[in-house]
Amino acid sequence: MKRRRPFLLFTLLAFGYAFLYVPIISLIVYSFNVSRLVTVWGGFSTRWYGELLHNDQILSAAWLSLRIATMNATLSVILGTLAAITLVRFGKFRGRTLFSTMVSAPLVMPDVILGLASLLLFVTMEHLIGWPAGRGITTITLAHITFSAAFVTVVVQSRLSQFDISLEEAAMDLGARPWKVFLLITLPIIAPSLLAGWLLAFTLSLDDLVIASFVAGPGATTLPMVVYSSVRLGVSPQINALATLIVATVTLCILLAGWLMHRQETLRRRAPVIDIS
């Protein structure tokens, strides 16, 4: 259908993108500013990056956050994939409504509620069974998994439901066992969504301030907690440098993932025969 391009629509679209990107771009620009005053341009410099790399507090918090995010992402992908398979493949079973409610509620549940609820759970559990002893990296990871897995489920669910089930049936007709069908057919096809889910869970965990603040003990300080306390004291050029590094990493990862998926798609189109031996 040919239609003329409505001017207003594209003006709004441009405005929307400007709104989304101006703050991020301003952060990047001022991260290269000589002046400590974030809003006065004093000349180009990479001074704040140097200081950032020598800020032990930020570095150790970043290291802790990366470890938590990796563990969280890996376990969330396993849990989220199982939940997605349950929702897409298993049809009706007893307790399905409760299950799908529990899967979708963490997507929207306010962080303060999730944080408080998780903390009270951990305190009660420690009181009753002695685990998890104290609070720190374990409790942060456990609390993160619960809400990240919900996001993984959404991502994997959408890929699974577009999946052509006749591929599995064909493999089964040719004598492959269900487990082998899963490993050789299902898993490779949903693999991009597992990767996307892993990355999403990773960033969600890396980004979380509120839940981590509730469930972290005095010993565990994650990156967002350090950023938050420094931001409360005022604008700091080091945080701008950190933000720029994060934006650059995320952009690179998304471009790489997009390119990989694109390549896989073209490869599959070129070679439609799947070897299941």
Q: How far is the CB of 272 from other proteins (least distance, A)?
A: 21
33 has which bridge partners?
A: 44
State which residue, 43 or 234, has the beta carbon closest to other proteins. 234
Q: What is the CA radius of gyration of the chain?
A: 23
Is 30 or 32 the residue whose CB approaches other proteins more closely?
A: 30
CB closer to other proteins, 39 vs 273: 39
How near is the Cβ of 68 to other proteins at its closest, in Å?
Answer: 15
Nearest distance from C-beta of residue 50 to other proteins, angstroms:
20
If the CB atoms of residues 187 and 273 are measured against other proteins, the closer one turns out to be 187
**Nearest approach, Cβ of residue 101 and other proteins (Å):** 5
In the complex, the smallest distance separating the C-beta of residue 54 from other proteins, rounded to whole angstroms, is 20
Which residue, 45 or 104, is less far from other proteins as judged by CB?
104
| Inter-residue contact 257 to 242 (CB < 8 Å) | no
